[in-house]
Amino acid sequence: MIKLNATQIKVIAIIAMTIDHIAQLFVPYGTALYYILRFIGKTTAPVMCYFLAEGFRYTHDKKKYILRLSLFAVISEPAYYILEYGAAPSSTVHLLQNLNFLFSLLLAFICLLILSNSKLNATFKVILTAITLSLTQFVDWGLIIPVWTIIFFFFNKDKMKMTLLFISTTLIILPVTFLRLYDSFWYFTLNYGALLALIPIHLYNGKRDRCSTPLKKKINRWFFYIYYPLHMIILSAIAYK
């Protein structure tokens, strides 16, 4: 069976994300092509959650990790908002109610910080996690991002249990979060393309990025953070010219 390393899987996720945004901006809503491309595009979010959990597990400096996420979340917000709405925000409140995917990952990372902290008792962990999860109503993908990340982090050694929890939470939480935004259940189901993420995740060989030089390591580390806002700027410039 073919096995993939972390870099290869992240490239697949980036391609899927780009396909999703191209369909969103350039393919007519209601067409079969729109559905198929956006179905494929939904692969990206859970894959990124999986590698966020991996990154949390292996990083030597969680403070730098969270600062990097925070920085690029802020940098990416104007590009994300324009891609979604085609114009500058009408108000600061509306901007803060529609935060991009990196903010979603940031909240997921904070959840892991809370739940893995041995100095906190169970009650305090529940309270802090609940407060963090309440903020997901303002971010892209909402509640499901920290839920996926928590599953990938705590159940990574039991692939069967991880898979079952991933599927069940996806089937339950996504309708609660997104069904009201669609004019039919059929078009809502394109979000279940997220389940495709199980394919690259199960093909992961457990090997982190192998880079021969410090420069390549830096490029590999920063590429997604830079690509995320950059591709949205380019696509929006073409779509809204």
Per-residue pLDDT reduced to its tens digit, 13-67: 999 999 999 999 999 998 999 999 999 999 999 999 999 999 999 998 999 999 9
pLDDT tens by residue, 44-58? 999 999 999 999 999
Tell me which amino acid residue 116 is: S
Average pLDDT, the chain: 94
Q: What is the mean pLDDT of residues 147-155?
A: 98
* Distance, CA of 84 to CA of 24 (rounded, Å): 9
Nearest C-alpha neighbor of 169 from the set 9, 45, 39, 10: 45
pLDDT for position 220: 73
pTM: 0.95
Task: Band the pLDDT of 212: cuts 50, 70, 90.
Answer: low
Alpha-carbon torsion angle 32, 34, 37, 41, nearest 10: -140
* Distance, CA of 121 to CA of 129 (rounded, Å): 12
pLDDT at 110 over 90: yes
pLDDT at 125 over 90: yes
Q: Is 41 exposed, middle or buried (0-12, 13-18, 19+ CB in 10 A)?
A: buried
pLDDT for position 207: 81
The DSSP element (H or E) to which 116 belongs, if any, is none
Tell me which amino acid residue 221 is: R
* Distance, CA of 142 to CA of 23 (rounded, Å): 21
Task: Band the pLDDT of 206: cuts 50, 70, 90.
Answer: confident
C-alpha distance from residue 198 to each of 146, 158, 164, 165, 202 (Å): 17, 14, 11, 12, 6
| Domain regions of the chain by residue span | 6-239
Q: pLDDT exceeding 70 applies to what percent of the chain?
A: 95
Taking CA 110 as the corner, what is the angle to CA 108 and CA 115, rounded to the nearest 5 degrees?
95
pLDDT for position 36: 97
* Distance, CA of 219 to CA of 223 (rounded, Å): 6
